[in-house]
Amino acid sequence: MAHKRGGKKPVFDILYKIPGKLAMKELGKYFKYEDGDIWFVETDRNNMKLEYRAKELISSVKSPFQQIDIVDLYDFGKCLVLDGAIQSTVLDGHIYNEMISHIPIVTHDNPQDVLIIGGGDCGVANEVLKYEEVKKVDFVEIDELVVKECVEHIPEIAGTTSQDNRVNFIFTDGVKFVEDKKNLYDVILVDSSDPVGPAVQLFSREFYQNAKNCLKEDGIMVCQSQSPLFNKDILRNTHKILNELYPIVRTYYAIVPSYPGGIWSFTLASLKNDPLEVDVMKLKTNTKYINEGVFQSCFKLPNMFKYVLE
Amino acid sequence: MAHKRGGKKPVFDILYKIPGKLAMKELGKYFKYEDGDIWFVETDRNNMKLEYRAKELISSVKSPFQQIDIVDLYDFGKCLVLDGAIQSTVLDGHIYNEMISHIPIVTHDNPQDVLIIGGGDCGVANEVLKYEEVKKVDFVEIDELVVKECVEHIPEIAGTTSQDNRVNFIFTDGVKFVEDKKNLYDVILVDSSDPVGPAVQLFSREFYQNAKNCLKEDGIMVCQSQSPLFNKDILRNTHKILNELYPIVRTYYAIVPSYPGGIWSFTLASLKNDPLEVDVMKLKTNTKYINEGVFQSCFKLPNMFKYVLE
């Protein structure tokens, strides 16, 4: 499904000439041709319009769940775009992926069995697999095509996940997957997309309760809890639900330049160990963002984000 | 110069009907009317186009130096826009202002005499004035009209700076101001705009040398050193020059959602005290972003930013 853009010709003209490839109708919604370039147009925000100049629209496919585009942007490099929203980029995808995975893995005494829900770009799995203690990763993603596209087109993010025999791919709905399981996992990572459409359930009390049941007695769960600037209610609500379910709940943050507002929150819920008290020397050093200093400082929330949780 | 937008009428029509107020020609460059609203259009990036839905274009004036617009955006609140680039917003202006000011003031043993270069929105001065030890602030800004506009229209950022008798406003070129002064200041804060046009000199070795001469023997200077993602050369070069001039140089970072990439760097250069070793209990608590945890953790750079400095 790859489409290489050449020279300065209008992309619509080119596309029309490639039977079976991208049609103008498909391209029309999130991409346009302007100033001699392809532009990716974000359409999901109310009060901002963002357009990114693209080097190339690498792939564009439709799964039963969503529109999946892989585009190479000048400022952010190759990106996974789902239904018109940027999910991960080569420039900064590793920040999100490192922050959601290394912190719970290092916090757990012996993280052998890991469950990842979502995260079809394979970036989170790729970080988890850096730890030899991890014996098995159940990787539950609803959309198999997202995984295929990312493995093929964005190896910078997907890494070697698809070749690692510790990974057990399960293409199903994560919400259903956790409904009937008990006492199976040391660490659960919920790498959900935004709480719209099918992902809404991944932010519900019922899901969090079921996920807790899947954990062993010293288990740890981490979820992305949205922007502390623009989604305060979701962060507050996630924190509140987890506080009712777990003895230890810690919200931390990272910079994710390609996300709205540039700051993102994660909330860790733990049945035994506190990330503020662990030995950060266990942290892997083959990372691009996280290090011991970042691990310790990401829990030190600025006042404006503390207020959201109060 | 205020212009209130009413109802759903095209703003251009309204503007034409207000003699002496904004003319379409002035509005044309950075603002447009679309979807029944005013939109602010950023035009200074090569690979991104950003448009922000505005509640109101509050003021629009031209000084001898630049176009000055005050606009109220839905996502960021009231903003100062110079020549089409957002300088500070009510949503996040305090982050930048607190981070560039509290850290050097707290690091210095007795910060009585402070020089601020740039920072016409008065936000940095407003933070500095929170410290009673500060006896005098020489506030050197090239464009008097920026100060007037911000004091009048954005008191949320400007605060009470203009009424504080410790402040000595000097409307002149900061580069020239530091050329012939010696041994005057405890702390110098360089709140420059981006290194294009007149602000280029504020990033030069000659300017940094002259600024150092203005410091007393235990003085501290801080400058904004641009985005560690998109302006790596400037950050690296600033750090290099300051390392040649000062025994202690520390780069730190903060999240500034309205700036490109959402992350911003500052570089502190000190002749005596090290911010990593000071008593952060001196930090004022009437802040929205900085606190003791943020003070200590902002120096713990993520790997990708450390690499920029190596």
With respect to residue A116, please indicate whether it lies within any of the assigned structural domains.
yes
**Which pLDDT does position A24 carry in this prediction?**
45
Do A164 and A282 sit in the same domain of this protein?
yes
B53 reaches A (C-beta below 8 A): yes
Residue of A34, A252, A292, A297 to mutate, interface with B, max B Cβ within 10 Å:
A297
With respect to residue A237, please indicate whether it lies within any of the assigned structural domains.
yes
Residue A99: closest CA among chain B residues belongs to which residue? B302
Residue B300: closest CA among chain A residues belongs to which residue? A293
- Pairs of residues, one from chain A and one from chain B, whose beta carbons lie less than 8 Å apart: 115
Question: Residues B257, A35, A70, CA angle at the centre, nearest 5°?
Answer: 60
A23 reaches B (C-beta below 8 A): no
A213 reaches B (C-beta below 8 A): no
Answer yes or no: do B290 and A301 touch at CB < 8 A: no
A36 reaches B (C-beta below 8 A): no
Residues A73-103: pLDDT tens digits?
Answer: 999 999 999 989 899 999 999 999 999 999 9
Do B42 and B133 sit in the same domain of this protein?
no
pLDDT exceeds cutoff 90 at A240: yes
Do A295 and A149 sit in the same domain of this protein?
yes
With respect to residue B6, please indicate whether it lies within any of the assigned structural domains.
no
With respect to residue A2, please indicate whether it lies within any of the assigned structural domains.
no
Do B116 and B158 sit in the same domain of this protein?
yes
Q: Provide the chain B residues 140-169 that lie in CB contact (below 8 A) with chain A.
A: none
pLDDT tens, residue order, chain B (310 aa): 223 333 333 344 444 444 444 444 456 589 998 878 899 998 777 888 889 999 999 999 999 999 999 999 999 999 999 999 899 999 999 999 999 999 999 999 999 999 999 999 999 999 999 999 999 999 999 999 999 999 999 999 999 999 999 999 999 999 999 999 999 999 999 998 777 766 778 889 999 999 999 999 999 999 999 989 888 999 999 999 999 999 999 999 999 888 777 889 999 999 999 999 999 999 999 999 999 999 999 999 999 999 999 8
Do B21 and B97 sit in the same domain of this protein?
no
A276 reaches B (C-beta below 8 A): no
What is this model's ipTM? 0.85
With respect to residue A181, please indicate whether it lies within any of the assigned structural domains.
yes
More confident residue, B40 or A192: B40
A286 reaches B (C-beta below 8 A): no
**Which pLDDT does position A280 carry in this prediction?**
95
Do A69 and A179 sit in the same domain of this protein?
no
- Among partner residues A92, A287, A303, which is closest to B289 by beta-carbon distance? A303
A193 marked as part of a ligand binding site: yes
CATH number at B63 reads 2.30.140.10
Cα separation, A80 vs A66, in Å, equals 12
Q: Distance from A261 to chain B by nearest Cα, in Å?
A: 4
> Which amino acid is located at B241 in the chain?
I
B99 reaches A (C-beta below 8 A): no
A49 contacts in B (CB within 8 Å)? 39, 49-51
The total domain count for chain A is 2
How is chain B classified by DSSP, letter by letter? ------TTS-HHHHHHTSTTS--HHHHHTTEEEETTEEEEEE---SSEEEEEEEEEEEEEEE-SS-EEEEEEETTTEEEEEETTEEEEETTTHHHHHHHHHHHHHHHSS---EEEEEE-TTSHHHHHHTT-TT--EEEEE-S-HHHHHHHHHH-HHHHTTGGG-TTEEEE-S-HHHHGGG--S-EEEEEEE---SSGGGGGGGSHHHHHHHHHHEEEEEEEEEE---TTT-HHHHHHHHHHHHHH-SEEEEEEEE-TTSTTSEEEEEEEESS--GGGS-GGGS-S--SS--HHHHHHTTS--HHHHHHH-
Residue A77: closest CA among chain B residues belongs to which residue? B47
Residues A35-53: pLDDT tens digits?
Answer: 788 999 987 778 888 899 9
With respect to residue B4, please indicate whether it lies within any of the assigned structural domains.
no
Residues A134-186: pLDDT tens digits?
Answer: 999 999 999 999 999 999 999 999 999 999 999 999 999 999 999 999 999 99
With respect to residue B179, please indicate whether it lies within any of the assigned structural domains.
yes
Q: Across chain A, what does the average pLDDT equal?
A: 89
In angstroms, the Cα distances linking B142 to A64, B147, B157, B213 are 59, 10, 19, 21
Q: Distance from A184 to chain B by nearest Cα, in Å?
A: 34
Residue of A38, A45, A48 to mutate, interface with B, max B Cβ within 10 Å:
A48
Give the domain extent around B259.
Answer: 93-309
* Last residue within a domain, chosen from B46, B72, B89: B89
Do B41 and B136 sit in the same domain of this protein?
no
Residues in binding site of B for spermidine: 121, 191-194
Do B169 and B262 sit in the same domain of this protein?
yes
A199 reaches B (C-beta below 8 A): no
Do B85 and B97 sit in the same domain of this protein?
no
B58: nearest Cα among B154, B156, B191, B159: B154
B299 contacts in A (CB within 8 Å)? 293
Q: Distance from A258 to chain B by nearest Cα, in Å?
A: 7
**Which pLDDT does position B17 carry in this prediction?**
40
Do A26 and A80 sit in the same domain of this protein?
yes
A52 contacts in B (CB within 8 Å)? 47-48
**Which pLDDT does position A28 carry in this prediction?**
57
B74 contacts in A (CB within 8 Å)? 46-47
B300 reaches A (C-beta below 8 A): yes
A293 marked as part of a ligand binding site: no
SS3 A227: coil
CATH number at B247 reads 3.40.50.150
Find where tokens 């949320």 sit: B156
A198 marked as part of a ligand binding site: yes
**Which pLDDT does position A192 carry in this prediction?**
84
Residue A254: closest CA among chain B residues belongs to which residue? B255
Do B24 and B44 sit in the same domain of this protein?
yes
* Last residue within a domain, chosen from B59, B89, B119: B89
With respect to residue A186, please indicate whether it lies within any of the assigned structural domains.
yes
Do A29 and A127 sit in the same domain of this protein?
no
Whole-number percent of chain A with pLDDT over 70: 90
**Which pLDDT does position B256 carry in this prediction?**
87
Q: Sorting pLDDT into bands at 50, 70 and 90, what band is A248?
A: very high
* Last residue within a domain, chosen from A42, A60, A89: A89
B92: nearest Cα among A263, A301, A251, A49: A263
A75 is catalytic: no
**A92, A138, A186, A191: which one is catalytic?**
A191
More confident residue, B306 or A23: B306
**Which pLDDT does position A9 carry in this prediction?**
36
A75 marked as part of a ligand binding site: no
pLDDT exceeds cutoff 60 at A2: no
